[in-house]
Structure 1
Amino acid sequence: MRILYLHQHFSTPAGATGTRSHAMARALAARGHAVTLACGRYDGAASGLSGPFRRGRREGAVDGFRVVEYAIACGNAQPLPARARAFLRFAARAAGLALAEPWDLVIASSTPPSVALPALAARRLRGIPFVFEIRDPWPELPRALGVGGPALWWGLDRLADAACRGAAAVVALSEGMAATARAHGAAEVAVLPNGCDLDLFGPRAVPWRPAGLPEGHALAIYAGAHGPANGLGVLLHAALLLQAEAAPVTLLLVGAGAEKPDLVRRARDWGLGNLRFLDPLPKPRLAGLLAGAEIGLQCLAPVPAFAELTAPNKLMDYLAAGLPVVANMGGAAARLLAGEGGPPCGLATPPGDAAALAAAIAALAGAPARRAAMGAAARRLAERRFDRRALAARFCEVAEGAARRGTAPGRVALA
């Protein structure tokens, strides 16, 4: 089967961003499918290609599948208008590719939601079935954050309606996202959460720590985007409280984004000696850093919609690394950390509550035995529920079923 996989933000594990589409494309190729993955140039990503661009495009083989990369820069630090232009430019180039070759299936992975446009064009003009993967629900999250306005949200609603109704199958990363897909008209939805790379993260990783950490301090790491949706200001306030209490913990924020310069300035102005920053790290390097840490930090802005609509990739990395997690959110993440009937693997605090967040971090920093128990529970949970290999196999089944029965969009019975 010839599959076109569209993911503008694709990265191999050599990059510093999510690798879900790499794992899924590799799994599809291992089952004998001819996979072409089309992407742009996303900040922190590594496409696996190194040759020159010709007419804004380069391509080559990566881990058993073909990668087509367009010279369209995009990143969280860009202003929204620049990112919107990058989204539409990629959609236009990907539409040309979708219509140029005899595909059996298109997989469109959002975010951004504009990736659905080439899939819809291929469906309408060539009769090619497609799978729509919702990694971030649009426009639900922009609307909740107040980003954009009614006209933009209306347009995104219509695009989500068309994508969900036209797809032979919809893949959602959480039950909350699945509910939004059904609200947009999807008849058949498979929930396949973010997975854990159990080989890269965990006991095999060689641990390391940044130089100059205070002796005896626990290391608590946030590794991810530094943007408005992440609400990292609350971590600065928590660090201020922890410093006032002389808590034996250092917070390390790893990543990049539009908010990072301001966060660095505020940390300096506040004299936060217990908080540091690092640039994004390639996944293998991050795995070693997490292996050398004591606590994983999950942080989001205090937006009620985040409770059920998000599926943070960084949380999967913490679990795979066997780290106890402190999260400032309720909903699905809080239930997960509470153990959902099993032993807890972390602590959840109310969104936006810096004092509660600081107290939870301090509680784990001063309790090595408790950290060890929660960390072991985190790794077992990763192995039992979030093994990426098992999730990739299920993803392949959904894609194959969509291709077989995709002639009736919205009426596909998933295997």
Structure 2
Amino acid sequence: MKILLLFHHLRYPDDSGGQRSREVAEALSAKGHEVVAFVPNVDPLTAKREFSGLGALWKRCGRGTAYEEFRYWVPGTARKGIFGRFIYGMAASAVAMLFATVRRNDFDWVAVCSHPLPISFSAFPCVLFGNARLLVEIRDVPADVAVERGLIKRDGFVYGFYKRVERFLVRRADHVIAYTFGMAQYVGLGGESSREFSVIPIGVDRRYKETRRMKGFGGIVRVCFFGTLGKVLDLSSVLLAFKELQSYGVPAQFDIYGSGENESFLREEAAKMGLPVNFCGAVPRSKVTQLCSSYDFAVYPVCGGPALSASLGNKFFDYLAARVPMIVVGSDSEAGRIVREYKVGFSVDSSQALASQLAQYYQNGEEGDALVDTGDNFERILLEFDKEKLLSRWCSVVEDRCE
């Protein structure tokens, strides 16, 4: 089959951020399908550009890949304020729609993400005027998270308009893949809906075999966080926990890997409270697992509301690959449920509870690892969320529906 991927990014292992787009392209190509990836030339996370100028609207590129990769030029970035995001989305949509129109009869499937919506709708020339089927992947639910973070109002025009357009896209799709069941519910699937959909999480790369180094860091409890320092994942409760941990007399260290618009605020808060926090900057995705494996715990904050709690992001699976016990801030979340079910960490709902758990871990000395009874549990969860198996299921979605 011939498949067009109109995703909003495509990253390689030495880039920062999620790799799902490239992994899907590689998995489909490995199955013998002809894959074309048509993506913007600027990464929405890092603002890194593959090429500059208007010498061509799009260029064939790629790093020795088994699929065709085109990068198209867009102005602005997806993270430079509302105006910058608007320009980015509209320009990307126009160019992607032009490409889809020119090659409207070339594909059997067109795959898009549900966000950003302008790029998603650029698939319609192939769907309406060609013979392609539409697959929509739900990777996040930004409008609902924005409401929970107080950025927009649920009863406002922006939210209402966004959700109507989003649900139209989902209804028009021939199939929908969501990272979690909770995310699918936010776009009107599940429950009373009879629409068929698939839940296929990001998954864990089980090729990483290095054994996690256990305790023995000079009597210091070391905790890490990897991710974007933006408005979505809130580290405030973690900082408060480290402040409270000082009253227990527990030596601790919190290393934050990442960058973003909220970084300066977090630096000021940490300095104001006199906390042992190191801001280590963003690192390539290929180094995350190795770095993470040297810590006692990795923190995954998903408190703030049901939409955010429904997510299972890249870092959740990076932590699992590193086999490091996880602290999920937000017990009533998909991540919290999984961590408790497989006993690979613990979940909390407050800074006080987090500080208490870390203090207990430290005070139990060499027996502290009993608090997170990992044992063979990591092997069980790694097998359940094996990325190779999940990507094979992703490929089966399009293959089974063309028989």
| TM-score relative to the length of structure 2 | 0.87
Alignment of 1:233-312 (within 5 A): 233-272=236-275, 274-307=276-309, 309-312=310-313
Q: 2:226 maps to what in 1? A: 223
Tell me the amino acid that sits aligned with residue 61 of structure 1. Answer: G
C-alpha contact (below 8 Å) 1:12/1:47 kept by paired residues: no
State the aligned residue count. Answer: 390
Alignment of 1:102-121 (within 5 A): 102-121=106-125
Q: 1:354 aligns with which of 351, 356, 380?
A: 351
Q: 2:165 maps to what in 1? A: 159
Q: Structure 2: how far apart are the matches of 1:366 and 1:380?
A: 28
Q: 1:397 maps to what in 2? A: 396
Tell me the amino acid that sits aligned with residue 391 of structure 1. Answer: L
Alignment of 1:129-144 (within 5 A): 129-144=133-148
Q: Structure 2: how far apart are the matches of 1:364 and 1:87?
A: 47
Change (3 A) 1:51 1:306: closer
Q: Structure 2: how far apart are the matches of 1:46 and 1:172?
A: 26
Q: Structure 2: how far apart are the matches of 1:48 and 1:14?
A: 14
Q: Structure 2: how far apart are the matches of 1:195 and 1:34?
A: 24
Partner deviation per Cα, 1:293-340 (whole Å, 9 max, x = no partner):
221100134223323x2122211111111010001112322211112x
Q: 1:326 maps to what in 2? A: 327
- Shift, 1:139, TM fit: 3.1
Tell me the amino acid that sits aligned with residue 360 of structure 1. Answer: Q
Determine if the alignment matches structure 1 residue 193 to structure 2 residue 197: no
Change (3 A) 1:377 1:254: farther
Tell me the amino acid that sits aligned with residue 170 of structure 1. Answer: V
- Shift, 1:346, TM fit: 0.8
Tell me the amino acid that sits aligned with residue 384 of structure 1. Answer: L
Unaligned 5+ segments in structure 2 are none
Larger relative CO (CA 8 A, sep 6+): 1 or 2? 1
Tell me the amino acid that sits aligned with residue 355 of structure 1. Answer: Q
Of 10-19 and 53-62, more deviation after overlay is shown by: 53-62
Tell me the amino acid that sits aligned with residue 174 of structure 1. Answer: T
- Shift, 1:99, TM fit: 1.8
Change (3 A) 1:43 1:244: farther
- Shift, 1:144, TM fit: 2.9
Q: 1:371 maps to what in 2? A: 369
Q: 1:177 aligns with which of 170, 183, 207?
A: 183
Q: 2:210 maps to what in 1? A: 203
Change (3 A) 1:172 1:295: same
- Shift, 1:121, TM fit: 3.7
- Shift, 1:46, TM fit: 10
1:139 is paired with a residue whose SS is helix
1:305 is paired with a residue whose SS is helix
Change (3 A) 1:297 1:366: farther
Tell me the amino acid that sits aligned with residue 322 of structure 1. Answer: R
Q: 1:384 maps to what in 2? A: 383
Partner deviation per Cα, 1:10-44 (whole Å, 9 max, x = no partner):
21111110111211110000011111112222255
Tell me the amino acid that sits aligned with residue 176 of structure 1. Answer: G
Q: 1:315 maps to what in 2? A: 316
C-alpha contact (below 8 Å) 2:360/2:368 kept by paired residues: no
- Shift, 1:376, TM fit: 4.3
Alignment of 1:40-51 (within 5 A): 40=40, 41-42=42-43
Q: Structure 1: how far apart are the matches of 2:16 and 2:262?
A: 18
1:10 is paired with a residue whose SS is coil
C-alpha contact (below 8 Å) 2:343/2:374 kept by paired residues: no
Change (3 A) 1:374 1:99: farther
Q: Structure 2: how far apart are the matches of 1:79 and 1:290?
A: 32
C-alpha contact (below 8 Å) 2:228/2:258 kept by paired residues: yes
Partner deviation per Cα, 1:148-182 (whole Å, 9 max, x = no partner):
34211122112212211111100001011122334
C-alpha contact (below 8 Å) 1:323/1:375 kept by paired residues: no
Q: Structure 2: how far apart are the matches of 1:28 and 1:34?
A: 8
- Shift, 1:73, TM fit: 6.6
C-alpha contact (below 8 Å) 2:167/2:188 kept by paired residues: no
- Shift, 1:183, TM fit: 4.3
C-alpha contact (below 8 Å) 1:105/1:130 kept by paired residues: yes
| TM-score relative to the length of structure 1 | 0.85
Q: Structure 2: how far apart are the matches of 1:255 and 1:53?
A: 31
C-alpha contact (below 8 Å) 1:196/1:317 kept by paired residues: yes
Q: 2:102 maps to what in 1? A: 100
Q: Structure 2: how far apart are the matches of 1:355 and 1:112?
A: 37
Of 71-80 and 223-232, more deviation after overlay is shown by: 71-80
Change (3 A) 1:11 1:183: same
Change (3 A) 1:370 1:10: farther
Q: Structure 2: how far apart are the matches of 1:264 and 1:59?
A: 41
Q: Structure 1: how far apart are the matches of 2:87 and 2:245?
A: 42
Tell me the amino acid that sits aligned with residue 254 of structure 1. Answer: Y
Tell me the amino acid that sits aligned with residue 245 of structure 2. Answer: L
Change (3 A) 1:301 1:56: farther
Percent identity between the two aligned chains: 23
C-alpha contact (below 8 Å) 2:3/2:109 kept by paired residues: yes
